[in-house]
Structure 1
Amino acid sequence: MAADSTTALADGVPADGPAPAGPSVRGPRSRTTAAYLRYVAGKLGGAIVSLFAVLVTSFFLFRLIPGDPVKYLTGGRQVSAEQLAAYRKEFGLDLPLWEQFTQYCGKALTGDFGTSYQFNGPVMDKIREALPNTVLLTGAAFVLYSLLGLVLGTRSAWRNGSLTDRFNTGLALVLFSVPSFWLGLMLIIILSVGMGPIPGLFPTGGMESGDSQGFGHVIDVLHHMVLPVITLVAVQYGETLLVTRSALLDEMGSDYLTTARAKGLSNDLVRRRHAVPNAMLPTVTLMFVNLGRVVAGTILVETVFSWPGLGSLFYQGLSVPDLPLVQALFFVFASAVIVMNTLADLIYPLLDPRVGR
């Protein structure tokens, strides 16, 4: 028996038989990493499929718009059938629809969305020109309404049922329901054109007056930004407030918050250190989606205030219709939201380890 035991130990096997099979030291970590990689691959695959679906939709959707772009190209002049045919051939509109589609997809994959009918230049040049203006306007609004929604939403949830909570929630619901173009027009009437108590306080539209330089130019642009930013903040902050409030209310009855209070932690510390971080998952999703909208801009607000961004450019393209321009802008708008949504999905496991396992 002793000899058998010695032989078994020498072979690395216990005398009473082999140890039960179980995970190795690196097993759980390896499984977690593999699960996360599968999660990432699934999300990236879904994003690629969504982008292709947007590419297809952007081609066919705008061909349903009434209007003939060739008539715009003629400038309203009476032209012969031969000239119309020449215009159609120049822009590839004489080709069968399936051939137009394959050419469009092939060029789009290289970043070439064609030539704008109305601007007679590469579409991507016009988009690059207008993009900074949209990012400036909606980026400033995004920061303001996200902070406002988070702060007020947290306070409303923590004081659930109070007068402050009812006022914040009611105002958020009202403003979130207001059409942005209507609110913008009301602000112009009250604060710009002289029909309100404070006439002429802000410009009616545009991005600059054109007669300032240096620091004065910065002040001029900021002055023109005030009304459109107020409009965007007013109609958007309520969404963040309501989502934050709802998520935090779901957390407030949790046992770990009761335990934290029982340990003597102050109410403010329990809220900041424990409740708010655990309630951030839905709010993070919303913020990433809204960040995608920063690139998309706000078509109605930019149009009302004549702000020279992507939204105004899209509106101009629809009026023709300028097919290459609106197709490219639609793809850019949708792609921005898809990319931001995918990034939010990839960050989820970092906020909540239960996601992606």
Structure 2
Amino acid sequence: MLRYTATKLGAALVSLALIAVLGFVLFRVLIPGDPVRILTRGAPVTPEGADALRRQYGFDLPLWQQFLRYAGNLLHGDLGTSAQFKVPVAQKIGERVGPTLLLVGVATLIAVALGLWLGTRSAWRRGSRFDRVSTGIALTLWSAPTFWLGLLLLSVTRGLFPSGGITYPDTPPDFWSQAVDTAHHMVLPLITLVAVVYAQYQLVMRSSLVEEMHADHLLTARAKGLRDDRVRRHHAVPNALLPTVTLVFLHLGLVVSGAVTVETVFSWPGLGLLTYEALRFNDVFLLQGTFLVLAAAVVAMNLLADLLYRVLDPRVRAA
């Protein structure tokens, strides 16, 4: 187990290193034009001011020295300074992580519970009206663009729920008032995110359980006289859960990065909206920081999925 963990952890560290290199190449090498003009958004700058900015951000150094400076800053947790907000990028990202984790965490819990329940019922009643309707809805929602679904909900529920933000400015500062107001603001972005995500879990769970229903050990369990509900709960579902659990953790990092459109549509003050603001204002260092954080989240969730899969599946341990 220690050797397996060390191997996966080493692979994750290599992936993080490659992501760091890719972040430097994308935002320092491949971006066309003068970086000073990008930082100033094309505003007129005197030659002396432009030189001062180049020295401040290290653009006057050779490329290999820029990379060494960039790598050293990363090792110390320094992601640079936001040209838009005039604060360290790490500080700005830290302010926005909480709302994203709240939205994505609650959405994932609801999507997993709903997807597993619907997938189990659909597979066990394969070919029924319930199976056809629930699978058709899941396929439709899975193919629907996230931003379009969010805009549709805003149009349909106009006035019933807040259309943006996380709380009202005049909400009392006590915990319960803030919690209720946050939950009220979270309804529409939560429904949008759940509607897109749960469908994948349902379809994967249905497919896994359909394959599991023909396994020999289920025939043996039925031959022993076990009731159908007990065969499903204790024999079929646990084995069919393995691919779905893996998908949940593999997809969790992607959900964090995929919340960009949802947060932008509903002005939810998380990492997704921060990424949109960085794109809109050409804030290179902020955009680079959000890219690194979101990519690192995907790598971390992949590592957690690998470790958890070994715990859940004895065949992986035997191999």
Where on the TM-score scale, by shorter chain, does this alignment land: which range?
A: over 0.9
- Within the candidate set 128, 145, 151, 2:117 is matched to 151
- Within the candidate set 189, 204, 213, 2:155 is matched to 189
Contact 1:310 1:329 in 2 (8 A): yes
Q: Distance in 2 between matches of 1:65 and 1:143?
A: 39
* Partner AA of 2:96 in structure 1: A
Q: Does 1:93 align with 2:59?
A: yes
Q: Distance in 2 between matches of 1:204 and 1:177?
A: 24
Contact 1:67 1:321 in 2 (8 A): no
* Partner AA of 2:6 in structure 1: A
Stretch deviating more after TM superposition (293-302 or 150-159): 293-302
* Partner AA of 2:218 in structure 1: L
* Partner AA of 1:234 in structure 2: A
Residue equivalent to 1:127: 93
Q: How many residues align?
A: 315
Q: Note the aligned Cα RMSD (angstroms).
A: 1.7
- Within the candidate set 252, 256, 262, 1:301 is matched to 262
Q: Distance in 2 between matches of 1:44 and 1:135?
A: 23
Q: Distance in 1 between matches of 2:37 and 2:101?
A: 34
Residue 354 of structure 1 and its aligned partner are, at CA, apart by 1.5
Contact 2:79 2:285 in 1 (8 A): yes
Aligned pairs (5 A) from 1:1-357: 36-63=1-28, 64-65=30-31, 70-71=36-37, 73-74=39-40, 77-192=43-158, 200-213=159-172, 214=174, 215-293=176-254, 295-296=256-257, 298-356=259-317, 357=319
Unaligned runs of 5+ in 2: none
Q: Aligned with 1:111: secondary structure? A: coil
Residue equivalent to 1:30: none
Contact 1:131 1:295 in 2 (8 A): no
Contact 1:134 1:297 in 2 (8 A): no
Q: Distance in 2 between matches of 1:49 and 1:251?
A: 36
Stretch deviating more after TM superposition (61-70 or 299-308): 61-70
Residue equivalent to 1:26: none
Contact 1:65 1:321 in 2 (8 A): no
Stretch deviating more after TM superposition (38-47 or 291-300): 291-300
Q: Aligned with 2:93: secondary structure? A: helix
Q: Distance in 2 between matches of 1:257 and 1:204?
A: 49
Change (3 A) 1:130 1:221: same
Q: Distance in 2 between matches of 1:320 and 1:101?
A: 24
Residue 114 of structure 1 and its aligned partner are, at CA, apart by 1.4
* Partner AA of 1:140 in structure 2: V
Q: Aligned with 1:49: secondary structure? A: helix
Q: Distance in 2 between matches of 1:38 and 1:218?
A: 44
Q: Distance in 1 between matches of 2:150 and 2:5?
A: 41
Query: TM-score, normalized by length of structure 2?
Result: 0.93
Q: Aligned with 1:116: secondary structure? A: coil
Q: Distance in 2 between matches of 1:136 and 1:332?
A: 16
Q: Aligned with 2:314: secondary structure? A: coil
Change (3 A) 1:158 1:323: same
Higher-Rg structure is 1
Q: Aligned with 1:171: secondary structure? A: helix
Residues 186-218 of structure 1 show CA distances to partners (whole Å, capped at 9, x for unaligned) of 1111212xxxxxxx1111211112111122332
Q: Distance in 2 between matches of 1:280 and 1:77?
A: 56
Paired-residue identity, %: 57
Q: Aligned with 1:186: secondary structure? A: helix
Change (3 A) 1:340 1:220: same
Q: Distance in 2 between matches of 1:261 and 1:249?
A: 16
Residue 339 of structure 1 and its aligned partner are, at CA, apart by 1.2
* Partner AA of 2:9 in structure 1: L
Q: Aligned with 2:212: secondary structure? A: helix
Unaligned runs of 5+ in 1: 1-35, 193-199
Q: Distance in 2 between matches of 1:103 and 1:126?
A: 21
Q: Distance in 2 between matches of 1:340 and 1:77?
A: 41
Contact 1:68 1:321 in 2 (8 A): no
Residues 237-264 of structure 1 show CA distances to partners (whole Å, capped at 9, x for unaligned) of 1000011111111111001001001111
Q: Aligned with 1:355: secondary structure? A: helix
Query: TM-score, normalized by length of structure 1?
Result: 0.84
